[in-house]
Amino acid sequence: MGAMVLESPSPAREHEGDRVVAQAANAGGYPLALPGPEAAAPPFEEPWLGGVRVAVLNFREPGQSVAGGAEEYAWQVCRYLVSRGARVDFVTGREPGQPRTEVLDGITLHRMGGKFSVYALAPLWLARHRRSFDIVIDCMNGIPFFAPAVVPRRVPVISMVHHVHDRQFYAFLPHWLARIGCFIEGPVAHRLYRNCTTVTVSESSRTELREKLGWRAPIHVIPNGSPIAAEIGEGTAAGDPAVVYLGRLVVHKRVERVVDLAETLAPDWPGMHVHVVGRGPELEPLSERVAAKGLRDRVHLHGFLDDPEKNAVLASARLAVTASEFEGWGLTVIEAAALGVPTVAYDVPGLRDSVKDGETGWLVRDGEDLPGVVSRALKELADPERREEVRRACTAWAREFTWGKTGSSMTSLIAAELAKSTKRPSSP
């Protein structure tokens, strides 16, 4: 095993770490943020992880075409760990044309396998390098990577779970395969990770892990951060008002419900335009839907936009809307809030954590429908005083979530896990 320097860095090294973090996560030196009774802070300041070797196993990485919030979370955590002196290997799937090995942001990427085969190849890779790491972060996107079964007992494994995927399996997979997915996520993972500290991103997800999966391991809530909008491009999104959806274009996001607002609310809001920002397999079906309904003059499918252009569309919107039926958190909700834009979302786990109903947005509760709540929100926001009140609440809420805080919390948790592992008996 390599050297694990867990003491606080010298002033020079600390300054360098903060400089890297300021570039990588727009923040640095934040206090520990582990809310909840099961997430007590370790009794020491944030450590320096000089020489600590970390393996992160994740289904995708942010540069891939269908990457989302879970990938952004894993990557930002890795960037922070690198800034604190750790050596990080990120093991993930590979899309056509991507190099198998690459170093980005100081992180060594190992890409292998496709949508399903990565779950076999990544554990094999980890098994071959099982003595090369001090700690493993196993990101369970419904299906785990079985890290506890392949690394030595002295190597701690942190299980990272954004949300329970039971319904998502049935949305994407044939019924028989969805049942297998639920079995692996439930009884199999419950037993395999029973002694592994778990990280999730919201209280809703922690509750679902306990109640749906019977999770017994300690669960720490470390919320998502949010990028600070350093650049905003020129231009104003069309519409009076403009409504925007930001996120992946996949089935369970139900973006068609947002698109249909342009038709449903036309009598009350004749000047309303809907903007859809994001990429994914549903882009073509959405385009066909817009054409079939004759909404091309009022629905704008932007596809993927770089940050300045994305922020320009988002900042000029009156309201953000998401129709997702399940989330671990709601990263795009906080992105919108950082620009002073409230969100309408369904009252489901994750989104009910990231939207403060009546303050930073509105939740669609049982017995209500999306168009009705969106119309009510737009009527409230038509009052300049109310709109300014909501804007201030949104920006204040968004400031509570930074990648610096997220990375700091994970750094301290890793140090605590490493400290515990030194007390375990060595395995042969």
Mean pLDDT of 52-64: 94
Whole-angstrom distance, CA of residue 61 vs CA of residue 290: 30
- 11-225+402-421 and 242-398, same CATH topology: yes
Whole-angstrom distance, CA of residue 21 vs CA of residue 403: 9
Sole residue written with tokens 């919201």? 202
Could you read off the pLDDT of 345-379 as tens digits, one per residue?
A: 999 988 999 999 999 999 999 999 999 999 999 99
The structure tokens listed for 363 are 């939740």
**Contact criterion met (CB below 8 Å) for 338 and 279:** no
DSSP-based three-state secondary structure for 271 = coil
pLDDT of amino acid 172:
66
DSSP-based three-state secondary structure for 390 = helix
| 157-160 and 135-139 strand pairing | parallel
pLDDT category of residue 427 using cuts at 50, 70 and 90: very low
| 219-221 and 107-111 strand pairing | unpaired
Please name which of 14, 3, 24, 9 lies closest in space to residue 230, comparing C-alpha atoms: 24
Q: Higher-confidence residue: 325 or 193?
A: 193
pLDDT of amino acid 15:
32
- Exposure pattern of 214-238 as b/e (b: 16+ CB <10 Å)? ebeeebbbbbbbbbebeebeeeebb
CATH of segment(s) 11-225+402-421: 3.40.50.2000
What Cα–Cα distance (Å) separates residue 126 from each residue in 1, 96, 138, 333? 15, 22, 11, 35
Domain boundaries, given as residue ranges, for the chain: 11-225+402-421, 242-398
Cβ atoms within 10 A of the Cβ of 115, count?
11
Mean pLDDT of 77-99: 96
Mean pLDDT of 53-82: 92
Q: Which of 40-49, 103-112, 293-302, 394-403 has the lowest mean pLDDT?
A: 40-49
pLDDT of amino acid 92:
97
Peptide bond preceding 241 in cis form (omega within 30 of 0): yes
What Cα–Cα distance (Å) separates residue 71 from each residue in 57, 80, 145, 174? 11, 14, 15, 25
Q: Burial of 203 by CB count in 10 Å (0-12 exposed, 13-18 middle, 19+ buried)?
A: middle
Could you read off the pLDDT of 206-238 as tens digits, one per residue?
A: 998 999 888 989 999 999 888 765 566 666 789
**Contact criterion met (CB below 8 Å) for 261 and 243:** yes
**Residue 277 CA neighbour count, 13 Å, CB half:** 24
Query: Which are the contacts of 396, defined by CB distance < 8 A and separation ≥ 6?
Result: none
Q: Burial of 341 by CB count in 10 Å (0-12 exposed, 13-18 middle, 19+ buried)?
A: buried
Query: 242-398 domain in CATH 3.40.50.2000?
Result: yes
The structure tokens listed for 158 are 């942190």
**Contact criterion met (CB below 8 Å) for 66 and 281:** yes
Length of the chain: 428
Cβ atoms within 10 A of the Cβ of 186, count?
16
**Contact criterion met (CB below 8 Å) for 227 and 335:** yes
pLDDT of amino acid 33:
34
| 107-111 and 101-104 strand pairing | antiparallel
Mean pLDDT across the chain: 85
